C-alpha cells in the first residue's frame, strides 16, 4: 500500500470519513471535496490500484454497490440522476481504485466536466473500431 493512500487509511480506520456503506468487499464514503453534496467514493476494501487491476470476483460487488448508491441518491438528496466515473492513472488523485457516484439534477450547473468532443474523418471510425476489436480478441 502506498503511504499516501487515503482510501486504505479510511478502510483501516486510521483516518475518519463519513462511511455510508461497508461490506466485506467494498466501502463507500463521502468525498471530502464533493462536486455536489452527497458525492460518494466507492472503493474495494482490498487494495487495488486501478480498474485494470480489479480481480473478477470484485467487479460485481463494486459495481453493485455503485448501483445501490446511485439509486439511493434519488430519494436521499433529491437527485434526478447520477454521474458515475472512474479515473485510471490519469487524473487519479488517489492510488486506490475508487468510483465517483455524484448526484445530479437538471440545471445543476455542472459544465466543462468532460473533455472537448471531436469527430471522425471518413472511414476513421471503422479503423478505430477494428483496432479495438482486434485488441479485445488478442
Residue with cell 467514493: 41
Can you list the domains of the chain with their CATH numbers?
6-137 (3.30.428.10)
Decide if 69 contacts 40 (C-beta within 8 A): yes
Which residues participate in catalysis according to the annotation?
98
Tell me the pTM: 0.83
Render pLDDT for 68-95 as a digit per residue (tens, 0 to 9). 999 999 899 999 999 999 987 666 678 8
The backbone region for 56, taken as left when phi is positive above 0, alpha when psi lies in -120 to 50, beta otherwise, is alpha
Render pLDDT for 3-51 as a digit per residue (tens, 0 to 9). 458 899 999 999 999 999 999 999 999 988 898 899 999 999 999 999 9
Closest CA to 33 of 112, 100, 106, 114: 100
Render pLDDT for 46-63 as a digit per residue (tens, 0 to 9). 999 999 999 999 999 999
The backbone region for 109, taken as left when phi is positive above 0, alpha when psi lies in -120 to 50, beta otherwise, is left
Amino acid at each position: 500500500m502506498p503511504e499516501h493512500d487515503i482510501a486504505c487509511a479510511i478502510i483501516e480506520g486510521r483516518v475518519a470519513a463519513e462511511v455510508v456503506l461497508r461490506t466485506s468487499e467494498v466501502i463507500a464514503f463521502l468525498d471530502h471535496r464533493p462536486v455536489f453534496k452527497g458525492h460518494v467514493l466507492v472503493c474495494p476494501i482490498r487494495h487495488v490500484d486501478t480498474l485494470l487491476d480489479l480481480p473478477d470476483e470484485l467487479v460485481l460487488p463494486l459495481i453493485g454497490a455503485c448501483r445501490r448508491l446511485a439509486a439511493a441518491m434519488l430519494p436521499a438528496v433529491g437527485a434526478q440522476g447520477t454521474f458515475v466515473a472512474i479515473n485510471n492513472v490519469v487524473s487519479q488523485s488517489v492510488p486506490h481504485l475508487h468510483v465517483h457516484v455524484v448526484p445530479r439534477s437538471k440545471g445543476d450547473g455542472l459544465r466543462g466536466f468532460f473533455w472537448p468532443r471531436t469527430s471522425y474523418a471518413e472511414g476513421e471510425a471503422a479503423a478505430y473500431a477494428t483496432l479495438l476489436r482486434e485488441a479485445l480478441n488478442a
